[in-house]
Amino acid sequence: MIAIVDYGVGNLFSLLSSLRALDLEAEVTGDAGRLRAADRIILPGVGAFGDARAKLDATGLVPVIQEEAEKKPLLGICLGMQLLFDKSFEYGEHPGLGLVPGQVVDLRRDLTDKTLKVPHMGWNSLQILKDDPLFRHVRDGEYVYYVHSFYARDCAAGTLAASRYGNVDVTGVVRRGNVYGTQFHPEKSGDTGLRLLRAFAEL
């Protein structure tokens, strides 16, 4: 069973629908026992980092997520991926979960072409930098869907794939041990995203 963490952030049911379309057993839950019982965990998220971290803290699930990440595959999606890092500088400085080394910074800071729109929203090709079982059904250069204004930096050791936006190589996929993250939304990335979710379910 794949447990989707419910902490009041994001549209969880499009993700649930995608997993069920793949005939995968999945549920949306905020229950610590169900997370422990799950074979895999997905941490979704949209919105602001500080608000999301506060809501996650309020559930009491942070230590559960950190413990379970040592035992089973965990996938953070979009803001859920950003929460995996050490810290974020989105409207202040906020601690992350410390599951993947790196930090989250404003994309506008690093773009040299200030006419490029932020949020970075739309389809970009994914350049696979390191081979990984997560890409067993995905080819280099396939397109995935992004919606974000901040991105992960100082995480080269764990970066599996990236997408070019202007002069910036946006961190697209990261991994550390059992922990994976995608800055893009697999559940909004058509057949490519579904194939990536299938590979996650096979880890």
Q: Dig out the tokens for 147 from the structure.
A: 């919606």
Exactly one of 142, 148, 185, 202 is catalytic; name it.
Answer: 185
Active site residue 78: yes
- 118 to each of 90, 107, 146, 150, 165, how far by Cα in Å? 14, 7, 11, 9, 10
Active site residue 90: no
Distance CA 103, CA 85 (A): 6
H-only helix segments in 94-173: 107-110
Active site residue 155: no
Exactly one of 78, 120, 142, 155 is catalytic; name it.
Answer: 78
How many residues make up the chain in this entry? 203
Exactly one of 93, 142, 187, 202 is catalytic; name it.
Answer: 187
Tokens 């500088």 belong to: 89
Distance CA 67, CA 148 (A): 28
Distance CA 106, CA 184 (A): 16
If DSSP states are collapsed to H, E and C, what string results for 149-160?
Answer: CEEEECCHHHEE
Catalytic positions, please?
Answer: 78, 185, 187
